[in-house]
Amino acid sequence: MPTTAGGTPALPNFQTAHEISMTSAPHDSCAHCGHHHELSVENLRVRYREGRALDDISFATSCGSCVALIGPNGAGKSTLLKAIAGLLPLESGKIFWRGTQVAKWSREIAYLPQRENVDWQFPITVRGVVRMGRYPQAGWWRPFSPADDAAIENALAAMDLLDLQHRQISALSGGQQQRVFLARALAQQAHVLLLDEPFSGLDRTAKATLAQTLRDLTKEGRLVLAAHHDLDSVRDIYDEALLLRRKCLAFGPVAEVFTEPLLEQTFAQPANAGKELA
């Protein structure tokens, strides 16, 4: 059976990386041990096909923050998320988590792709998807323990999916599908969530529910980084913002960097006439 980069079994066109989690926080999480874990990106360069997708990106953030990646199509938002998740090779630069290179901590990093990149017709139930989040913790061949079963139940409950757990994923609404992704992440217990356009295609109610969920996760001490395109909602959801145009134009608290002059600089011209890079 094929696996993802984080050791999770792969579904055809359904899972593209290590999706990881956090129902009850792991023993060394910020919420329980008081440590201030930092994600640091230093002088990152990534090439994509014939061109450079990211050029000299540097920033640092830590658990308890919700970070918006802001930029036009082709700015490299998806590329940056995939690079942090370990899904793309780096041309140069380094990514650190907890003071060491991020590859060591792949089980603590969850990548959730865009909904349109998922094969929602794959024949699996909600519970089946969430169960897959336990494989990196339980191992390939070891039967699930009561702790694994409890993590799955807690994740389903946390995302309000218990009543939907036996439903096929193709029968879910957009908001429910996003909650399945998060529940799968919660079942594995990680610190970092990398979300690619999580609000895309959701109705107003689903957007409000997801926004509250992300705020709750950061209050628990998790770190959330999300590519985000709805500028009107940035201040309501995020603590920090990274303005991206293949280079880091600004990074810091939303109140400081989410300003009209910097946004005009970010969106002055299309960063790429084609689709968003990777």
Write the single-letter amino acid at 85: A
- Rounded to whole angstroms, how far apart are CA atoms 66 and 240? 6
Overall average pLDDT of the 139-157 stretch: 86
What pLDDT is recorded for position 135? 78
Best-predicted range by mean pLDDT (20-29, 225-234, 263-272): 225-234
Element (H, E) at 53: strand 51-62
Strand 223-227 with 66-70, pairing: parallel
pLDDT digits (tens, 9 = 90+) for 217-243: 899 899 999 999 999 999 999 999 999
What pLDDT is recorded for position 138? 67
Residue 13 binned pLDDT confidence (cut-offs 50, 70, 90): very low
Residue 60 binned pLDDT confidence (cut-offs 50, 70, 90): very high
Closest of 197, 192, 178 to residue 276, by C-alpha? 197
- Asked if 189 contacts 135 with a C-beta cutoff of 8 angstroms, the reply is no
pTM over 0.85: no
Residue 268 binned pLDDT confidence (cut-offs 50, 70, 90): confident
Overall average pLDDT of the 49-74 stretch: 93
Which residues, including other chains, have CB under 8 Å from residue 44's CB and lie 6 or more apart? 54, 56, 57, 58, 80, 83, 90, 92, 93, 94, 95
- Rounded to whole angstroms, how far apart are CA atoms 140 and 35? 31
What pLDDT is recorded for position 72? 94
Write the single-letter amino acid at 37: H
Residue 270 binned pLDDT confidence (cut-offs 50, 70, 90): low
Instruction: Calculate helix-pair angle for 146-158, 174-188, nearest 10 degrees.
Output: 150
Fold of 37-266: Rossmann fold (3.40.50)
Which residues, including other chains, have CB under 8 Å from residue 85's CB and lie 6 or more apart? 5, 17, 18, 109, 111, 194
CA–chain centroid gap for 9, Å, is: 18
What token pair was written down for 155?
A: 């994740």
Closest of 144, 217, 141 to residue 181, by C-alpha? 217
Q: Is residue 107 predicted with pLDDT exceeding 90?
A: no
- How many residues can be counted in the chain? 278
- Rounded to whole angstroms, how far apart are CA atoms 262 and 149? 47
- Rounded to whole angstroms, how far apart are CA atoms 137 and 157? 20
The phi, psi pair for 142, rounded to 5°, reads -75, 135
- Rounded to whole angstroms, how far apart are CA atoms 196 and 69? 9
